[in-house]
């Protein structure tokens, strides 16, 4: 009986601490690859979508990094059990 409880607790801990991350390129421009990086993050809890923002995610990420000429845009999604984190990553000058 104790062994079953230990195995069940171990499985639950593994499920709670596990995460899956997917990184997808969105676009690239002909601008040279810059040294600046800007990130805009949003989170979703318990399956509810993140609150809508007034600024587009790419524009907000560029503003966060002080970027005026965008080189690349990547989209990163991290799934945890009850939380999903969305990151828009912009590089440029």
pLDDT at 55: 64
Based on the structure, what is the number of domains in the chain? Answer: 1
Residue 12 lies in a domain: no
H/E run at residue 3: helix 2-17
Closest CA to 52 of 86, 79, 78: 86
Residue 74 lies in a domain: yes
pLDDT at 53: 64
pLDDT at 54: 60
Question: What ranges in 18-66 are assigned the alpha helix state H?
Answer: 57-65
Query: In tens digits, what is the pLDDT along the chain, a chain of 93 residues?
Result: 789 999 999 888 887 777 788 899 988 888 988 899 999 999 989 878 887 766 688 999 999 999 999 999 999 999 887 889 999 999 999
Structural domain harbouring 62 = 19-92
In angstroms, the first-to-last Cα distance of the chain is 61
Residue 46 lies in a domain: yes
């Amino acid at each position: 009986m104790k062994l079953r409880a230990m195995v069940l607790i171990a499985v639950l801990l593994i499920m709670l601490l596990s995460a899956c991350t997917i990184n997808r390129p969105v676009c690239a421009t002909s601008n040279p690859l810059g040294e600046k990086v800007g990130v805009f993050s949003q989170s979703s809890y318990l399956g509810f979508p993140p609150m809508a923002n007034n600024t587009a995610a790419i524009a907000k990420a560029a503003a966060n990094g002080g970027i005026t000429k965008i080189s690349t845009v990547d989209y990163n999604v991290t799934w945890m059990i009850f939380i999903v984190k969305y990151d828009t990553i912009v590089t440029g000058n």
